[in-house]
Chain A
Amino acid sequence: KAGVTQTPRYLIKTRGQQVTLSCSPISGHRSVSWYQQTPGQGLQFLFEYFSETQRNKGNFPGRFSGRQFSNSRSEMNVSTLELGDSALYLCASSSGLHNEQFFGPGTRLTVL
């Protein structure tokens, strides 16, 4: 099976702009979770989508949003970018039944 893929791999944006990141899960996986990884904060959970519905949500502001499509692909959107949003954004997919999560390579977002 192909692994989890994320696009783009790198992004450079300026403050105030918005960005959309994409994640394609492993075939057959219905759950996609998003994490923000920074050197100081580790892996912080953003949200999880299962069968097109947000099932869990972390403690991030409303500028961070997501959605999932019928083919389980997921997108994450960040509006009104701030310098502190610079991070590696990882998505992970799972079957949704047994908790094992498999990560994608991440999107490195730099906000200038």
Chain B
Amino acid sequence: GENVEQHPSTLSVQEGDSAVIKCTYSDSASNYFPWYKQELGKRPQLIIDIRSNVGEKKDQRIAVTLNKTAKHFSLHITETQPEDSAVYFCAASMRNEKLTFGTGTRLTIIP
């Protein structure tokens, strides 16, 4: 089955700097890659996703890139703000198959 690895497990960045979280997946048939943000005590929320027919997708300060050949995808957050502090999860799946999640990255924005 699919296996997703996520790095780093913790990340601290100064407010205003950029943060990058990387994930690799094992099954080349996976074609859907969402990112979830989970604030303390709250539910995971979808923040951005990308499908395998696209190499990059942006939404304001958040972007995701996908390299199908290398089987890795990354989340980029620019101009970080204190409210970006949370745990971020990447995931991968094939159509109508289960989502396999990475183990999460705890992002801390230092004011």
Contact = CB atoms under 8 A, between A and B. Distances in A.
A42 B104 contact: yes
A102 interface: yes
Contact of B44 (A43, A45, A96): A43
A99 B95 contact: yes
A58 interface: yes
Interface in B75-108: 89, 93, 95-104
Interface size class of B (residues with CB under 8 A): 20 to 34
Interface stretch (A13-21, A60-68, A73-81, A103-111): A103-111
Interface in A80-112: 90, 96, 99-106
Contacts of A55: 96
A56 interface: yes
A33 interface: yes
A45 B99 contact: yes
B44 A56 contact: no
B61 interface: no
B27 to A, nearest CB: 14
Contact of A101 (B96, B99, B102, B104): B99
Nearest to B101: A43
A96 B96 CA distance: 7
Contacts of A43: 44, 89, 101, 104
Contacts of A50: 96
Interface of B: 32, 34, 36, 42-46, 49, 89, 93, 95-104
